[in-house]
Structure 1
Amino acid sequence: MSITINLTPELEAQLQEKASQKGQDISLVVSELLARVLEWETADTEEAIKAIQQGLDDFENGRFRSFDEFAEAQRRKYNLALEE
């Protein structure tokens, strides 16, 4: 299958440079990059769904903390000042 896309000159130059460095045709480099992005996106979505489900399961089983406890933990973790 053939797809035509319009690239900015800067992006085209980056892809051409990458293809030159790898000694490959630019079409192959673009195809590999798109495949990796799609694989990452699928894995990222699956991980997010699992994390959400874990959170729901924890809540249903009484494993949760109050917002105040969460906020305090975040303030400590990121060294945030308490807003007045």
Structure 2
Amino acid sequence: MDMMPLKLERRAQLEEYAKRRGQDPATALDDALATYLEWERQDSAEAVEGVRQGYEDVRAGRTSPLPSFLLICAASMASVNFAPRTHAPSYTRARWR
């Protein structure tokens, strides 16, 4: 395999990572890269499946009209208090004394 340059910072991180796992840096890099690539593949597959399922739901009529959705959102937001605080919480004030 061709050698690939690493930034000094990344090399130091890799060496520390390998040391914590009792591995040589090449093995640690291979394991970390394999783990990341598998995660990325699975994440991508899940995203594609989510889009496919959403498309199927729309085609099958399993959707809500936009006005209904907006009413549900408005109702859920009505219970959230967006008022600005008039004073800092007591734990913050005590910390600055």
Tell me the alpha carbon deviations over residues 5-50 of structure 1, each in whole angstroms, 9 at most, x when there is no partner.
Answer: 1211111111100111111110000000110111111111110111
Moved beyond 3 Å, runs of 4+: 74-77
Aligned partner of residue 6 in structure 2, secondary structure: coil
TM-score by length of 2: 0.67
Q: Show structure 2 runs of 5+ residues with no match.
A: 83-97
C-alpha distance 57-14 of structure 1, shift in aligned 2 (>3 A): same
| CA distance in 2: counterparts of 1:73 and 1:30, whole angstroms | 46
Aligned position for 1:73: 73
TM-score by length of 1: 0.76
* Root mean square deviation of aligned Cα: 2.6
C-alpha distance 56-70 of structure 1, shift in aligned 2 (>3 A): farther
| CA distance in 1: counterparts of 2:4 and 2:74, whole angstroms | 43
Identity, % of aligned positions: 31
Q: CA deviation at 1:71?
A: 8.5
**Bigger Rg, structure 1 or 2:** 2
Aligned pairs for 1:37-56 (under 5 A) are 37-56=36-55
| CA distance in 2: counterparts of 1:71 and 1:5, whole angstroms | 55
Aligned position for 2:91: none
C-alpha distance 52-8 of structure 1, shift in aligned 2 (>3 A): same
Number of equivalences: 79
| CA distance in 2: counterparts of 1:22 and 1:9, whole angstroms | 20
